[in-house]
Structure formats: C-alpha cells, structure tokens
C-alpha cells in the first residue's frame, strides 16, 4: 500500500480488479440514448423498498434473513468498501454486516456496517474513515477460496471492490488473530499515509526562471536507467485561476511522450489553486505543487512546461532522480488529459475518460466539472471494461461514489484523504470551508480526485473507462479530466495533446457565486 515503486512494475502475481455494487440491474445493455433514462441510463441504483433487488440474493440462516451483497468464489482480496448514510445528516445505522471467508459457516468478523468501516472501529483511520456522508475502507482482507458479504437488513447503496486472482494462486486468508498480532505494522502504515514524505535522496534537476507566453521550457534528466521519485513546481502567482489549466506539463521517456496534462489536472488542484494533501500528490497553500509518482526510464528523460497563457510566468521546477533497475515488468508512467465544453446533458450519454490499448496498470484520475446550475450534476455511474469484457467489471452508483463520498447535492464541503479528495466544490475549498449544513448548491467548478494503491487496475490488452453524464437538469456542462496509468512502451491511449481545448476554459455562469 505504501510502496509507490510497486506501481511502476506490472504485478508479478497477476490479478484483475472487480466490483460488486448496488448498480441498477436494469442496466443490462446499451441502448440508443433517450431524453428520459431507461435501461442503461436508469438511475435507480440502490435499494429502498421490497421491490428493489439491486443485490445478489436473500438467504435465510437460523430463521433470520441475510442479504447477500458479494459472493466471490476465487482467491482474492477485498481492497475497498464504500457505503453511504441512508439519512445524509445521520451517520448511523442498525444494519449488521457479516464477512464470511473461505466458506466458513460463521463470519470472520461482523459489526455495525458503518462503525466497522468509519475509522473508529477496529480498522483505524485512515485505513477506514468517515468521508462526506459515507464510510470508506481501504483495509485489505485477503482470502484463499471465497468471500461472502451479507447484511441483516435490506442494503441501501454499496460498493465492494476486490482483487480476483487465478484459482491456483496461494493466498493467506485474513484472521483476527493475525490482525491483532500486527498492530505495529498497521500503525506504521497509517502514519506513513498521513505523512506522505519522499525521503529518497537522489540527484536533483531543476529550473528557475521565466517562461514567455506560448513558449516551452525543458530540463533533461540524467542518462541511464533511473526514475523520477518526486516532481514539484511552483508558479509566481495564481491570481488568474485559469493558469492551472493553461500551463501544461509534458514528460518524455526514452524518446516517447508519456505525459501531457495541464498542471491543475495533473496535481489534482483543478481550476485555480485548491490545496489538499494525498498519498501521491500535495497542493500547498503557498502554491507549491508536488507529486510522488515513481517514473522509471531506461536511457533518457525530459521534463517540460508549456505556457499557453497570454502572459509570461515565473516558475520553479524540480525533479528528484534516483537509480532504477529496469526489467521486463517495468513500465512507463503516463498522464493524459481530456477536456470538453460544452457537454450536453441531454440525451443521456457516457463520457469516455480514456481507452487504453496494451498492457498496463490504471492508477487514478482527477475530474473538474463546471456546472451552470445549482442542481446536482453527478448521478452518472463509472463503467470500466478490462481486456475485452462484454459487460463492465466495475459498474458504479454515482460520480461522487466513485470519488468516495456521497449525497453529492449536499456534500459541497472540502475534504481530503490519502487516496481521494474533493479539493473544490461550488465556492468552497480548504481555505474557504463550508459553514451551512444541508445547502445543495453545486453551481460552478467542482474538482474530485481518486488515486489507487491496492485497488489499482491491471489490464493485459485494453481498458476503457466511461463516466455517465447524468445531471438532473437539461444544460451544458464543462468536463476536464486528468488520468494516470503505467504502461509498456507500445501501450497507447486515445488521448492526444489538445491545445485548443486547454484554452477553451468553461466560463462560470452569470452572477456566480450564487449561494
């Protein structure tokens, strides 16, 4: 979880990421988009009454019903759980969760389904935590044969994300005894996640100076097998919030361009300076932007900044380089960007983040949207196909659920966590926190980001990630997303540099802010 260099090598013990969720079971095939959602675009992805069956089945044990939410029968590891509060301002439930491993008749552990995963139960913060109106856990629960998850009452929304290994893979199953023996390790990992320093002492390469409008500045990296272990930059000022969209980071490794992404989308800040701290990236209040992705190369590398704004900028750019032993599992770090304005919300549609061909591992993204109206914009589900799947193995329940919070129409406050954050929503960020509870105005820019550790997504031949455009209002929105993945030299995506769209920054609506 805390070894960033592991991401830069394709997993030696291969697996695929899968998910069980309360997605709408009527979404069984793609249809021609309609003005009213049905089938593929239907939004009823929860269980609120006896008529709903967005779960696997109901079992009966000793005269009591149990709702089965997950029933995986291969070696695997549960790596992420997400469940929202049924009443958005009441973080409580009387629903009981039970996790059965390897076909055991009794659960390995059980408890209140929020208290187990809100960071105040036996799984400590930040491995589990209370997000904005939801409980989220990234604590790994491995099993050698099977994992079944049930609840004592009809579930509301839920997502359980897990690694699936080949049947012959040897995995040691989770036990409470071993958990109790490893408190020191658990505490150490938790402290590392909350203090994401990069202590690698390498060779520093830097640039300090001015970049004129429509100009590029580059720095060359040391020759030979090596890797960037940290990268940081700082502009002279951020008074124009569009500067984080109009300054672009470009990186070449071994003669191939693998990174082309606006700095706001690359570091997770979005439009403007929106501070937050995560495991891989930090945006500081003083304007310093830094990342800790490990980026290896065989022979050569070059880091560039492109200034597409209409003024000169003063910038400080620094890369920390250390030796890397390249082998057949090593991969190049990639980051790309897609922007579009306007994006019509009718008819309903899937907006493609990225499609990648080749071998690689998907590790995160940062989405910035511009919503012209007050009403909630993010009911859209993520759908992720891996290696020519006919149906997505990851099918979500809402954009905000993918980014690990819930009740998006109300959850406009800033929040941060090592693996996900909402650096900005409406008029709020880390510097300007939300004070009123229950307000539903989501007009303006929102930035959501999610990065991955144990829940990375390996793919052998291809990966396709779509986010459903599902606003409650017929309007025109702006979308911009930065994506991060590792891949072989021949791995390619459908995302190419797009200077025209970089300059097409979605305008805020007239009269904004309008709280």
- Reply yes or no on domain 203-503 having CATH 3.40.50.720: no
- Indicate the pTM of the whole model: 0.97
pLDDT at 502: 98
Smallest CA-to-CA distance from 377 within 314, 448, 327, 432 is with: 448
- Asked if pLDDT for residue 457 goes beyond 60, the answer is yes
pLDDT digit string (tens) for 247-294?
A: 999 999 999 999 999 999 999 999 999 999 999 999 999 999 999 999
Residue 130 tokens read as 């209370």
- Asked if pLDDT for residue 447 goes beyond 90, the answer is yes
Domains 52-194 and 203-503 share a fold: yes
Q: How far apart are CA 473 and CA 514, in angstroms?
A: 17
pLDDT at 514: 54
pLDDT at 53: 93
Q: Pairing state of beta strands 428-429 and 420-425?
A: antiparallel
The domain ranges of the chain are: 52-194, 203-503
3-30: burial string, b at 16+ Cβ within 10 Å, e else:
ebeebbbbeeeebbbbbbbbbbeebeee
pLDDT at 87: 87
Q: How far apart are CA 476 and CA 346, in angstroms?
A: 9
Domain 52-194 sits in CATH at 2.60.120
Between CA 474 and CA 480, with CA 478 as vertex, the angle to 5 degrees is: 140
Q: Residue 515 has what DSSP assignment?
A: -
Which of the residue ranges 36-40, 154-158, 199-203, 409-413 would you say has the lowest mean pLDDT?
36-40
Stretch 120-136: mean pLDDT: 95
CA distances from 235 to 48, 217, 240, 463, 503 (A): 49, 13, 11, 35, 18
- Asked if pLDDT for residue 395 goes beyond 80, the answer is yes
Percent of the chain with pLDDT strictly greater than 70: 98
Mean pLDDT of all residues belonging to the chain: 95
pLDDT at 197: 85
Instruction: Tokens 């993918």: give the residue.
Output: 402
DSSP assignment of 69-110 equals EEEE-SSEEEEEEEEE-SBTTB-----EEEEEETT-SS-SEE
pLDDT digit string (tens) for 14-27?
A: 999 999 999 999 89
pLDDT at 34: 65
pLDDT at 117: 94
Stretch 71-91: mean pLDDT: 94
pLDDT digit string (tens) for 396-437?
A: 999 999 999 999 999 999 999 999 999 999 999 999 999 988
């Amino acid at each position: 979880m805390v070894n960033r260099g592991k991401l830069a090598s394709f997993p030696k013990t291969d697996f695929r990421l899968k998910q069980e969720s309360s997605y709408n079971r009527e979404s069984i095939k793609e249809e021609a988009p309609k003005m009213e959602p049905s089938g593929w675009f239907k939004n009823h992805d929860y269980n609120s009454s006896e008529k709903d069956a967005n779960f696997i089945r109901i079992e009966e044990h000793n005269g009591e019903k149990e709702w089965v939410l997950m029933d995986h029968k291969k070696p695997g590891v549960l790596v992420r759980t997400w469940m929202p509060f049924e009443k958005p301002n009441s973080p409580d439930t009387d629903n009981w969760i039970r996790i059965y491993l390897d076909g055991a008749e009794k659960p390995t552990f059980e408890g209140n389904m929020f208290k187990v995963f809100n960071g105040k139960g036996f799984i400590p913060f930040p491995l589990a935590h209370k997000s904005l109106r939801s409980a989220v856990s990234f604590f790994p629960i491995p099993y050698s044969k099977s994992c079944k998850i049930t609840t004592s009452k009809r579930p509301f929304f839920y997502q359980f994300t897990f690694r699936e290994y080949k049947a012959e893979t040897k995995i040691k199953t989770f036990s409470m005894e071993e958990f109790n023996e490893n408190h020191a390790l658990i505490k150490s990992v938790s402290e590392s996640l909350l203090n994401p320093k990069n202590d690698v002492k390498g060779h520093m390469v830097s640039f300090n100076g001015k970049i004129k409008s429509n100009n590029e500045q580059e720095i060359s990296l040391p020759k030979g097998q090596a890797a960037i272990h940290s990268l940081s930059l700082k502009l002279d000022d951020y008074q124009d919030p569009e500067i984080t969209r109009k300054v672009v980071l470009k990186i070449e490794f071994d003669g191939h361009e693998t990174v082309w992404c606006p700095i706001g989308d690359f570091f997770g800040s979005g439009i403007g300076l929106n501070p937050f701290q995560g495991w891989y990236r930090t945006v500081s209040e003083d304007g310093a932007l830094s990342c800790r992705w490990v980026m290896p190369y065989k022979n050569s590398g070059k880091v560039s900044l492109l200034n597409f704004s209409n003024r000169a900028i003063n910038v400080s750019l620094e890369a920390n380089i250390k030796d890397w032993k390249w082998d057949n599992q090593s991969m190049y770090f990639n980051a790309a960007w897609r922007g579009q304005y306007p994006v019509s919300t009718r008819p309903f549609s899937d907006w493609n983040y990225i499609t990648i061909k080749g071998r690689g591992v998907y590790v995160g993204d940062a989405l910035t949207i511009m919503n012209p109206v007050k009403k909630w914009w993010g009911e859209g589900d993520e759908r992720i196909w891996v290696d020519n799947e006919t149906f997505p193995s990851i099918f979500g329940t809402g954009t905000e659920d993918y980014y690990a919070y819930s009740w998006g129409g109300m959850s406009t406050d800033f929040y941060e966590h090592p693996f996900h954050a909402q650096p900005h929503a409406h008029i709020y960020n880390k510097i300007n926190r939300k004070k009123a509870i229950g307000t539903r105005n989501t007009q303006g820019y929102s930035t959501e980001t999610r990065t991955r550790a144990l829940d990375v997504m390996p793919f052998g031949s291809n990966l396709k990630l779509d986010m459903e455009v599902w606003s409650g209002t017929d309007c025109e929105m702006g979308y911009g997303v930065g994506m991060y993945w590792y891949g072989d030299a021949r791995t390619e995506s459908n995302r190419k540099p797009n200077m025209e769209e970089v300059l097409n920054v979605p305008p805020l609506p007239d009269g904004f802010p309008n709280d």
